[in-house]
Structure 1
Amino acid sequence: MSLFKTSPISFEMLDRSETPSRRYEAGETIVSTGDEAKEMFLVRSGRVEIRVGDKAIEEIGAHGIFGEMALIDHSKRSADAVATEPTEIIPVDERLFVVLVQDTPYFALDVMRVLAERLRAMNEKLAE
C-alpha cells in the first residue's frame, strides 16, 4: 500500500509521440537513492514504485511525475524508483522544465500541487 494518494493531476501534455522515452522491465531500477539528478520523469505507461529503504511510499501510474524534487533543488535522489511492470518514461531535463514553467504557468502550479500533496501525506503519516 502506498503512503500517498494517487495524484489527480495529469501531465499528459508532455506525452507527445516525438518525445524521446526510456523503457524499463518490471523490477528494473530507474533511479537510486544518492544518484545525481538532472531530470524528472513522466510515466507514459506502466507503473513506478517510489521506495525509501525497503518501504514503498508511492506508486505512480500513467501521466504522473516523479523525480521533480531533486531536479528543482539540485540535490541527489532521496528515494529509489522501480518499475513494477513494463514501463515507459519520458525524461524532462532542467532546460525543458524551465521552458514549460515559463510558457505554461499551470505546469508549475501542477508540479507544486504534487509536491504539496506528497508533503501533506507525509505529515499525516508522521502524525499517526
Structure 2
Amino acid sequence: MGIDRILERKVFYAGTKILKEGDEGDRAFLIQDGEVDIIKHGAVVATIGKGELLGEMALIDDRPRMATAVARTDVACIVISRDTFREKLAKADPFLRGLLNIFVRNIRSLSD
C-alpha cells in the first residue's frame, strides 16, 4: 500500500483558518506548498512553508492548540490523523519518544 492511499491531502485557500488556538487537536498537517501564518495573541509570530509540520504538538501531548494558523497563500497539505501519528510514534525508539515529549513540554512552558 503506497503512502498516497494512507494519507489524505487537503487544500486551504489564502485567508482560511486552518487551526484555532485552544481547539482540540486531532490532526497535523505537512505543508506541501504555500505559506501559513502562526498567530498568537493577535500577532503573527511565525510564517511556515513547504516541508514544515503544523499542529503536531497537540497530537504528542493531547493538549489544546497553542496558536491559530491561517493560510497566507493557497496551501496544499498532507493530513496526518491522530491514529496515523500515534501508530508511527509507537514504532519509534523509546528514547526518541521521550525526547519528543520533553521538547513539547518545554515549548509549551515557554508560551504559558
Q: TM-score, normalized by length of structure 2?
A: 0.73
Gaps of 5+ in 2: none
- 2-structure distance, mates of 1:17, 1:46: 20
Conserved in 1, the CA contact under 8 Å of 2:8 and 2:80?
no
Matched residue type, 1:57: V
Matched residue type, 1:66: L
Query: Percent identical across equivalent pairs?
Result: 27
Matched residue type, 2:49: G
Q: TM-score, normalized by length of structure 1?
A: 0.65
The structure that is strand-richer by fraction is 2
Give deviations 1:17-72, integer Å, cap 9, x for gaps.
Answer: 44311111111110111212111111111111111022111211111101111111
Matched residue type, 2:68: D
Give deviations 1:97-127, integer Å, cap 9, x for gaps.
Answer: 122223455xx67x94xx57x94xx69xxxx
**Is 1:97 matched with 2:95?**
no
- 2-structure distance, mates of 1:66, 1:86: 15
Q: What is the RMSD of the two structures over their aligned residues, measured on CA atoms? A: 2.5
- 2-structure distance, mates of 1:34, 1:98: 21
Specify which of 59, 66, 77 is matched with residue 71 of structure 1. Answer: 59
